[in-house]
Structure 1
Amino acid sequence: MLPFLRHSEATVPLSWGRRMMIALGAAKGLAFLHNAERPVIYRDFKTSNILLDSDYTAKLSDFGLAKAGPQGDETHVSTRVMGTYGYAAPEYVMTGHLTARSDVYSFGVVLLELLTGRKSVDKTRPSKEQNLVDWARPKLNDKRKLLQIIDPRLENQYSVRAAQKACSLAYYCLSQNPKARPLMSDVVETLEPLQCPNDGANEASSSLTPTLTGGRGGAFAMGGIHDHRIHHRFPNNVGPGSICRSPNPDCSPGGPSACRVR
């Protein structure tokens, strides 16, 4: 097993097919955790916690910050904020309220890294481009601009329709409103048709088994991301294609609890 970094920094960049394969494998891993009899929230999903085998099958590692999800009438788990800057959901950072939708936001950041080939936080770039989500999200829902943020190293070797669907998925995963984010099961359903069966012998399979590995993941991430962990204390109590299926096109508060992306 190799950390994501070893592959993403290779001389030959990852192809579109392999990127979508990694995204699907990681999404299946998170969906498996969220749909367990007692749901588990990963809480620190990021590129450095994704390991790849020789067939580019994604495996999740490092469950040190995983947390049992809310049960019954509970809407969230209140906990100390721990995660990695650039990946943690904004509502979790601000309130300490943790839900499965917090993982969905983190997945959206990783998907954005796969699409753009950029780090979640890159201090070497111009100030307006240092935070990947702030720079890219406004462009994800604009058909005139979204292709401008796709990793140029792909050299247009991808389906424009697939890129639009992937960008739309990232857009909803990164919604400020947690209820507007899709479930991970919906993310898997959206990513499966985007697999590219002709893009390399090892990329044909879309039946990726969500494999979970214990222990610490490699201390690497796409593009050499530093591990900016955030720690704030909150009470440890537990408190009480590309169309969003919602009457509100912006999936604003008051819409359905799950925003399905097609």
Structure 2
Amino acid sequence: MAPKYLENGLVSQKLLFMHFGVLLLEILGGKEATTFCGENSMHISEALLGGGNEEKEKLKDFVDPPLENNYPLVLAVFMVRLVESCLSKDPTHRPIMDDVVQSLSRALTTSLNWEISNMSGYRSYS
């Protein structure tokens, strides 16, 4: 539950973005969000985006294994940062709907361009 909901029981649009962030976390990781919550209070990006080669390995371990590393790393980093912004403890730091839609649109465009560039060398001979 979002901290502000637990404090005062009020539902707001910013609360919904926290839930959306949890959903994105589950989609990216391929597991229930409770699997990612431990005793530590480390932010998602701190845990996954340490930098360098370590970052790549952490993301590979995190992102849903059936993807078999078949995704652009820059997109995985982008999505982790979007998740973290949605999960911010301070509701004023969470994105608004327009920001989320634009972010997801950029992610889709990046993904499609990456897929097209990876398929360009493939030709079907029937």
Same fold (TM over 0.5): yes
- Residue in 1 aligned with 2:67? 154
Give, in whole Å, the separation in 1 of the partners of 2:48 and 2:101: 19
Deviation at 1:97, TM superposition (A): 2.5
Deviation at 1:156, TM superposition (A): 0.4
Deviation at 1:151, TM superposition (A): 1.4
Q: Counterpart of 2:69 in 1: which secondary structure?
A: coil
Q: By percentage of residues, which structure has more strand?
A: 1
Distance 1:193 1:130, change over 3 A: closer
Map Cα deviations across residues 148-198 of structure 1 (whole Å, 9 max, x no partner): 311122100101111110110001110111111111210110111211337
Q: How does 1:201-212 map to 2 (within 5 A)?
A: none
- Residue in 2 aligned with 1:197? 112
Distance 1:141 1:103, change over 3 A: farther
Q: What is the aligned-residue RMSD (CA, Å)?
A: 2.3
Instruction: Answer yes or no: is 1:101 the counterpart of 2:22.
Output: no
Contact 1:141–1:168 (Cα < 8 Å) also in 2: no
Instruction: Answer yes or no: is 1:167 the counterpart of 2:75.
Output: no
- Residue in 2 aligned with 1:142? 50
Give, in whole Å, the separation in 1 of the partners of 2:59 and 2:84: 11
Flag structure 1 segments of 5+ consecutive residues without an equivalent.
Answer: 1-87, 123-128, 200-262
Among 3, 6, 26, the residue aligned to 1:113:
26
Q: Counterpart of 1:197 in 2: which secondary structure?
A: helix
Distance 1:140 1:179, change over 3 A: farther
Distance 1:158 1:130, change over 3 A: same
Give, in whole Å, the separation in 2 of the partners of 1:130 and 1:165: 20
Contact 2:60–2:69 (Cα < 8 Å) also in 1: no
**So what's the TM-score if we normalise by structure 2?**
0.70
Count of residue pairs brought into register by the alignment:
104
Identity of aligned residues (%): 34
**So what's the TM-score if we normalise by structure 1?**
0.36
Q: By percentage of residues, which structure has more helix?
A: 2
Distance 1:114 1:194, change over 3 A: same
